[in-house]
Structure 1
């Protein structure tokens, strides 16, 4: 029988830790153990374990499932996301459909476009900057990319808050919520890199973007089941 790994122990947090505390612990450990950090503490196997733990504990549904496997009491709001209030049961089906379609067209699709504007150019922008991070023109171009990303993210966050999430897409909305949070954290790390040229900030920022991409992909998969 396979022994269940203790992801909370790997991230050095408690099972009662909030999503924010888990995120802070991940950021701290990623900077210490990332293979590209060029420090004595760099550990490829350790960062793989840390990433695996964070991918489960940062996902609201995966964390709840994991907690059940550990035999822990599951609190549906412990992950930091409180689902929106459901429509009254007596509301007509046609009104519910109109609400869902409105949310998809006015919130979900525009947010996806904004997320694409952030994620799609990342690899290319990092590769261009890697030619010489100390070149002023290359750094200015990278900072311009970050600024465009920040504008796109702000737009997406405003859209996400602009309407209540229809109950059928509560799971999709949760994934989007965490996607936007991870993009925000990733941009903060990239901005830190432009100030101090600390490679660990660049690598941590890329890790946050990678997780955001995975969360967005899972949101899209859930949406396909609904539509």
Structure 2
């Protein structure tokens, strides 16, 4: 099932029609509703679909991937990972160690991860601007590749940090957002690394778009923290 089928719209639907379909279905299946149709798995699938085709830029990338028949790309595989992540953090919510306070988790897990995420995402625009002077210049491309290697190191550190301790129940949503954010960062790094190997601008644009989504997820995690505090 592709993202259009998940949202019960056709591939020619307008952005407004997609938005309306998402809202209608989200209301129908939302796990906090009192409806008999509430379904956590459906909500996960709806969120993953809307995240892609609800945005005109990422929708164009998705449509191009579909036209090329590349059904195993990151857009599809990420939906499976997101579902696994949601279940993982719901389980943590139920079984979280009561000894771990949310202040401790924020201090030891959340803040270090945010620091690493910002060190990955913030330099991208400047790095691409420097590379744009001459993408075929070996020194400039080598510098960009070094930046990506550093990003990969930071990304691995952040993943290890997130997995090191269970999140307290009230921060399950924050932990899930960070998980999704790091998944996107890993995908984005891979796309950008492909660009350094074949100079195909499609990988560059896709990597930029994935990093943009990662930044949005990071912001959502921050907003969730503020709502808890």
Contact 2:28 2:38 in 1 (8 A): no
Gaps of 5+ in 2: 30-36, 46-82
Is the helix fraction higher in 1 or 2? 2
Quote the Cα distance in structure 2 between the aligned partners of 1:88 and 1:170.
Answer: 11
User: SS where residue 92 of structure 2 aligns?
Assistant: coil
Quote the Cα distance in structure 2 between the aligned partners of 1:70 and 1:189.
Answer: 36
Q: Which of 105, 117, 131 in structure 1 is aligned with 2:107?
A: 105
1:128-207 alignment to 2 at 5 Å?
Answer: 128-207=130-209
Q: CA deviation at 1:100?
A: 1.4
CA RMSD of aligned residues (A): 3.2
Quote the Cα distance in structure 2 between the aligned partners of 1:66 and 1:125.
Answer: 41
1:26-105 alignment to 2 at 5 Å?
Answer: 67-69=25-27, 74-76=39-41, 79-81=83-85, 82=87, 83=89, 84-86=91-93, 99-105=101-107
User: SS where residue 132 of structure 1 aligns?
Assistant: coil
Contact 1:175 1:218 in 2 (8 A): yes
User: How many residue pairs end up in the alignment?
Assistant: 174
Gaps of 5+ in 1: 1-6, 17-44, 57-62
Contact 2:93 2:172 in 1 (8 A): no
TM-score by length of 1: 0.67
User: SS where residue 134 of structure 2 aligns?
Assistant: coil
Q: CA deviation at 1:165?
A: 1.1
